[in-house]
Every structure is written in structure tokens, then in C-alpha cells.
């Protein structure tokens, strides 16, 4: 029996690539382009990949695009505040309904990640051309399949503890740095019906997304985060709300879809 390919949308802020010559030299097709190429190379016919950026109408994340996305990857840094709240709410709803989300590096401060975590998501950091070693702490996890232990990243920005996030449902990777710091760099969560993976390696000033082992992690994460089993739903319109009206009362009809059985 044939299986439909996983539909992936790679979202990139696409600010550094246009503004900073050093970043454009490393990522001439944008970080989103490098991420998309790595996923496509690793997963082949099992995936269909497209990209979207901040500068597009509705940031490229229209209702139609999200409805046709099984897994969304998210990289942002310089323009978190420019992401429209309406789009953030739309992405949150899609995740709760079953869409997978992979948040990358400085996306820890994105509106969508903070909304889904419910914490500040703050951390310690140092940008000094550091060496990062990404250690697998859950070798049986699907995201860790075929990944060397450790992954060596010769040059990278340091992210360190304390990382203000909820306890991960599954901790897949931790990183150590040449300054002695450690960081929970691969954290898996479930939110509603959706799966969420945060993976920290990938500062714009370093060619991390060209690293084959990092591309493997992201490709594995796509497979893990893709919806499983039941069809995706839209939580607040697919079934009648409970617990906020008395038996026999007429449901509110501000949104006529809520009155449907």
C-alpha cells in the first residue's frame, strides 16, 4: 500500500539573509532554502517540501497552506515581533489539531513557541565561535536514528542553561560547549494532537544547516512530528464544547460552526 508523502512547510524569517552579507554568503538561498534542501535530500519521495517567509502575505502561512501542511519548521530571530498575532493563533490551532511543529535555534523566543510553552523560554547565550557537541540521551528515539553520538559542530553560538521551558515529554539531545556549559538542545513535546520538537543548533553566522548530521536530525524530526493515525482536526470547531453551558441551553452562535453537531 502506498503512503502519501509528508507535506512540509519550511518557514524562515529571511531577514539576516537579506540584510547581512556574511549570512547571505553562507546561505545564498536562505536558511529556509538550506533546511528544505536537506529534508528533501534525506527523505526523497517520502516528502513534499515548500518554503514560506515572513515577507509574504500572511507570512506565507494562510489557512490554506496550513491545511496542506503536515509538519511546519520555524526559524526566526530578528523579527519575532513582526509576526502577526493572527498568524500565531492560526499556527497554534493547527498544532493542537495535529500538525507537527519543529522550532529551531532562536525560534525559542518566537511568539508561537512561547505561546505553546507558556513560559519565558529565556536562556543563557554567548556568541564566540564556540564548539558544540550534541549528545544523544535517548538513543531509541526516532529522531536519533542514524545520528552519530556526539554530533560535532566546530563553530556555533553557545546556548546554555537555565532554559526556561516546561519539562520536555522526551529529552532527545543535550549539548556541551567549550566553555563548559550544557543545554537541553533537543526537546520533544505533545500539544493537543500535535507533536513539537525544539532543536537548538543553527545560528545564522555559521553553516550549521549544511551539516549532514544536523540535516539528518531535522529529517528524522519531520518523520516523528508528522500526524499519525486519526485525521487532523480543528479543536474548537470539530466538536461541541463541554463544561461551559447547562444541559438544555442553546449553544452560543457567535460562531455558527459551534452550533453544529
What pLDDT shows up at residue 230?
Answer: 60
Mean pLDDT for 197-225 is 96
User: pLDDT tens digit string along 13-27?
Assistant: 988 988 899 999 999
Q: Residue 30: enclosing H or E segment and its boundaries?
A: helix 30-43
Element (H, E) at 49: strand 47-53
- CA-closest candidate to residue 127, choices 17, 22, 18, 197: 22
Q: What is the pTM of this model?
A: 0.86
Cα 186–191–194 angle (5° rounding)? 85
What's the pLDDT score for residue 17?
A: 86
**All structural domains of the chain with their residue ranges:** 6-233
Of residues 128 and 76, the one with the higher pLDDT is: 76
CATH fold, domain 6-233, is Rossmann fold (3.40.50)
What is the average pLDDT score of the chain? 87
Q: Write out pLDDT tens, residues 143-191.
A: 999 999 999 999 999 999 999 999 999 999 999 999 899 999 999 999 9
Interval 128-142 mean pLDDT: 94
Q: 212 to each of 48, 69, 124, 204, 207, how far by Cα in Å?
A: 19, 24, 27, 17, 11
Amino acid at each position: 500500500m502506498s503512503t502519501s508523502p509528508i507535506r512540509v512547510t519550511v518557514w524562515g524569517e529571511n531577514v539576516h539573509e537579506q540584510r547581512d552579507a556574511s549570512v547571505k554568503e553562507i546561505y545564498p538561498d536562505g536558511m529556509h532554502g538550506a533546511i528544505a534542501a536537506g529534508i528533501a535530500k534525506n527523505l526523497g519521495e517520502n516528502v513534499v517540501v515548500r518554503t514560506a517567509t515572513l515577507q509574504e502575505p500572511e507570512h506565507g502561512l494562510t489557512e490554506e497552506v496550513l491545511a496542506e501542511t503536515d509538519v511546519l519548521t520555524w526559524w526566526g530571530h530578528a523579527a519575532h515581533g513582526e509576526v502577526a498575532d493572527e498568524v500565531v493563533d492560526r499556527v497554534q490551532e493547527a498544532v493542537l489539531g495535529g500538525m507537527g511543529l519543529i522550532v529551531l535555534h532562536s525560534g525559542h523566543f518566537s511568539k508561537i513557541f512561547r505561546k505553546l510553552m507558556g513560559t519565558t523560554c529565556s536562556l543563557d547565550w554567548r556568541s564566540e565561535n564556540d564548539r558544540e557537541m550534541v549528545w544523544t540521551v535517548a538513543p531509541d528515539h526516532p529522531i536519533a536514528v542514524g545520528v552519530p553520538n556526539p554530533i560535532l559542530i566546530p563553530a556555533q553560538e553557545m546556548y546554555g542553561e537555565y532554559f526556561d521551558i516546561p519539562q520536555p515529554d522526551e529529552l532527545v539531545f543535550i549539548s556541551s560547549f567549550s566553555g563548559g556549559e550544557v543545554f537541553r538542545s533537543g526537546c520533544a513535546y505533545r500539544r493537543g494532537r500535535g507533536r513539537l520538537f525544539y532543536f537548538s543548533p543553527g545560528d545564522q553566522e555559521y553553516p550549521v544547516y549544511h551539516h549532514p548530521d544536523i540535516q539528518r536530525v531535522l529529517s528524522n524530526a519531520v518523520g516523528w512530528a508528522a500526524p499519525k493515525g486519526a485525521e487532523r482536526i480543528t479543536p474548537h470547531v470539530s466538536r461541541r464544547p463541554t463544561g461551559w453551558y447547562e444541559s438544555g441551553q442553546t449553544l452560543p452562535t457567535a460562531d455558527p460552526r459551534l452550533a453544529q453537531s
